[in-house]
Structure 1
Amino acid sequence: MRKLSLVLLPILVLAMIAAPVSRSVQAQDGETLKIGLITDLTGALQLYGAELENGFTLGLDYATDGGLEIAGRPVEIVVRDYAGDADKAAQQARELIEVEGVEVLVGAPSSGVTQGLVSVAAEYGVILMAGPAADPRITGEFFEPTTFRACRNSYHDAFDIASWAVENVGPNYIQLAPDYAFGYGSVAAFNYAFITKGATFVQDAIFAPTDTTEFGPYIQEIVDSGADGVIVTWAGSSSINLFQQMSEAGIGVDEDKPVLITGFGSNDDVSSFVDDSQVGNVGLIVYHYTLPDNEVNDWLVKQHEERYNEEPDLFTECGFATAQALAAGIEAAGGSTLPDDLIPALEGITWEGPKGEYTMRAEDHQALMPMYVVRLIDAQPDAFKYYELIAEVSAEDAAPPCESGADRSSDTLDCTPLAERAAE
């Protein structure tokens, strides 16, 4: 027994030295609250990264009436650019907590990067406000009590368009997605939503490397599949190549080719590949500044135009809503960012954001919000006014399944992962 104790003692001491220590001290009133924003400003998702930063900055301004103070604490946003590097993002998160004294993390555009941030936040005992990364597993399979998401996930996208597509396009589908976390999560979400609505998938999803620029072989496989529609999930600069090549191949254009089912992206992306042949196309969209009709969105549009000399974009709303939720939660927690205080303050919170009413679901920390189905009506509009609204899908109808674990279930919501439900 003595030998066992002598062997274990140095190991335990080393472990205590090496392990990060969770915060357990309440910040004092008046002490600066540092929020670490980890985003992509120079990598492949830099467009979304800038939208997140701009939206979060404006959302914090709106939530604090311009005072940048929450519960008596002045707020400082510390921004880090991970430049598309997941390892760099994780290291930045650690440095923000250990060196900069950041109490809350926000980010990121990439699902793979955000998965790493989920682990870091849980390890250090800080709250992570995730987004715009859309992988459902961030608040599902990889659920941690310290992670919250005020932005949509891929299930929202899928349920947003599924009913319309099955009714108007047909029952048979194929999917194309990027070969990484975002693509896997998206494919699973669209499979579930479309099958729920009565659709069939003619073959397994096609996964292409994220750096693909020549999509010819994948497009030919789609054409040969005989599907009524192809569901395309993609992100980043190569989207331009993908949609141009699909249009050239007749997908979404010719009557004898599959109909293109996808989400309309950021304004700059859309302007790079749409032409008059695509006018009339219908698709889902997370947010466009012309769609919501409420005072919060009016404020966002006006301030964004004044400060950045352009209209808010696809994920500006995500950053804005994230800041609103975080500010309300910290206010309710009396200025505390400790998990024991902030987690219950955020669970179940509702607020009025750019798209209307949002609710932070307590069971999996995933926000519920409205979504949109739109038709492209102009390929070269002024001020990016591309769309007409086909349908606003309610927060209830776009709600994703809860998969945070059976032990997170409530009286009204089953959170058993779908794979486990299917096996029963």
Structure 2
Amino acid sequence: MLLPLVMSVVLAVGCSQNESASSGGGNTIKVGVLASLTGPLESYGKQTARGFELGLDYATEGKREIAGKKIEFVLEDTETKPDVAVQKATKLLETDKVDFLVGSSSSGDTLAVLPLAEEYKKIMVVEPAVADSITGKNWNKYIFRTGRNSSQDAVAGAAAIASKGTKIATMAQDSAYGREGIEAFKTAAEKLGAVIIEEQYVDTNTTDFTANIQKIISAKPEYVFITWAGSNSPWKQLQDMQVQQKGIKVSTGAPDIAALKTMEAMIGMEGFSVYYHSLPKTKMNDWLIDEHKKRFNGEIPDLFTAGGMTAAVAIVEALKKTNADTDSEKLIAAMEGMTFDTPKGQMQFRAEDHQALQTLYAIKLEKKDGVDHPVPVLVREMTMEETAPPVRNQK
């Protein structure tokens, strides 16, 4: 029987396999990065991988070394399939003997892997998966998330459109990300007095949204709030079916650049952004933009690039606090409540659920000369305190 080809990439700095760190010993610290390098979220995974490598270089000043120990990472493709994610994570833990896990691009993949972090007693830094349950009902003490969660998106999205009596419809993919995102949005919007009058969930593989959009039009909301991930997006059909011309305003999060390129019809939309390279005004973000352009043919960093960088920086900062000791109990003690710099400014791991509290941005999409996609323009920054989500882990 032929075995499937497995994508595995090791990025190292002059170290051999027998130098791997284990329980704080050895000369090499190893990080296993799980990402969608193929499949519908391929661009997310590749951005995360680029960002992680850039983050290691930034946080260690290019040395990839902490307290005399070298750092390397092993990159594995989950293919956006939970069973494959478990297979690859098990390989990283058992064969590669990694000290940390990072990932993954999809909430489904990540939720499948969480129990392995607890079983093997290894820190997992979740980036960029957003499902609330990751730091909620499925959380364990080894899980720290640098990515924002659905509730943080929801607070920002609701703040942009919800008020007393506002009638809102919602639309999302029928996935953990989609359903949890809408549930969190509903909670935040209803708290502000809005009324959710229609919910539409779409099969993740569909490319025809006509029936769903028609049901939204028939409900006659003032707004439709959309939570979406991936490239098969509904923006063109929303335009073709003249949703906004019918008096229904569309609101969503400003996504990665590839998705922004499909949102020409959304120019003028008010919503929120997790990251766009021109929004943060920080030293680290300036470095990220300049270095990314140098390494990748003038390309600007994207949403998940900044996230990958943040995950790497968080790991390095934790290791600095433990003097490069990879003992998980020592790392947990160092990381709980830890404040650290990121391209977006400071984040803090909340002690109760290890969710990173962080800045989000209220934005408006505008057309800019010489740019091939609508640009998120800052309306205001929303502080980490303002966007702090509920603690949901009940631990």
Q: Taking structure 1 as the reference length, what is the TM-score of the superposition?
A: 0.85
Q: Alpha carbons of 1:333 and 1:390: their partners in 2 closer, same or farther (altered >3 Å)?
A: same
Mapped partners of 1:151, 1:283: distance in 2: 19
**Alpha carbons 2:367, 2:373 under 8 Å: kept:** no
The residue correspondences of 1:268-417 to structure 2 (distance < 5 A) are 268-271=258-261, 273-275=262-264, 277-309=265-297, 310-378=299-367, 381-382=370-371, 386-405=375-394, 408=395
- Judge which range, 59-68 or 257-266, deviates more: 257-266
The number of aligned residues is 375
Aligned with 1:133 (options 126, 129, 132): 129
Which consecutive unaligned segments of at least 5 residues does structure 1 have?
A: 1-23, 409-424
Q: Alpha carbons of 1:332 and 1:288: their partners in 2 closer, same or farther (altered >3 Å)?
A: same
Percent identity between matched residues is 35
Task: Give the match for residue 216 of structure 2.
Answer: 222
Pairwise CA distance, 1:190:
0.4
Pairwise CA distance, 1:208:
1.1
Which digits, 9 at most, give the CA deviation of each residue in 1:247-291, with x for residues without a partner? 11122x31x3321111111112211x233x532111211100000
The question of 1:250 aligning with 2:242 is answered yes
2:25 maps to a residue whose letter is: Q
**Alpha carbons 1:372, 1:389 under 8 Å: kept:** yes
Task: Give the match for residue 192 of structure 2.
Answer: 197
Aligned with 1:183 (options 178, 191, 196): 178
The question of 1:232 aligning with 2:226 is answered yes
Aligned with 1:261 (options 242, 251, 263): 251
Mapped partners of 1:122, 1:344: distance in 2: 16
Which digits, 9 at most, give the CA deviation of each residue in 1:204-225, with x for residues without a partner? x221110010000000001011
The question of 1:209 aligning with 2:214 is answered no
Q: Alpha carbons of 1:331 and 1:395: their partners in 2 closer, same or farther (altered >3 Å)?
A: same
**Alpha carbons 1:223, 1:257 under 8 Å: kept:** no
1:391 maps to a residue whose letter is: R
Mapped partners of 1:200, 1:381: distance in 2: 40
Pairwise CA distance, 1:384:
5.5
Task: Give the match for residue 416 of structure 1.
Answer: none
The question of 1:74 aligning with 2:58 is answered no
Which SS does the other structure have where 2:80 is aligned?
coil
Which consecutive unaligned segments of at least 5 residues does structure 2 have?
A: 1-20
Pairwise CA distance, 1:382:
2.7
Mapped partners of 2:370, 2:390: distance in 1: 37
Which SS does the other structure have where 2:352 is aligned?
coil
Pairwise CA distance, 1:379:
6.6
The residue correspondences of 1:115-134 to structure 2 (distance < 5 A) are 115-134=111-130
Higher-helix-fraction structure: 1
**Alpha carbons 1:130, 1:151 under 8 Å: kept:** yes
**Alpha carbons 2:365, 2:374 under 8 Å: kept:** no
Q: Taking structure 2 as the reference length, what is the TM-score of the superposition?
A: 0.91
The question of 1:53 aligning with 2:41 is answered no
Pairwise CA distance, 1:383:
7.2
2:378 maps to a residue whose letter is: L
CA RMSD of aligned residues (A): 1.8
Which SS does the other structure have where 1:382 is aligned?
coil
**Alpha carbons 2:130, 2:149 under 8 Å: kept:** yes
Aligned with 1:26 (options 19, 23, 36): 23
Mapped partners of 2:371, 2:330: distance in 1: 47
Which digits, 9 at most, give the CA deviation of each residue in 1:113-159, with x for residues without a partner? 00011111111111110120110110011110010001111111111
Mapped partners of 1:354, 1:319: distance in 2: 10
> Which has the larger Rg?
1
Which digits, 9 at most, give the CA deviation of each residue in 1:363-415, with x for residues without a partner? 0000001001111111774375713211111111111011111xx4xxxxxxx
**Alpha carbons 1:170, 1:228 under 8 Å: kept:** no
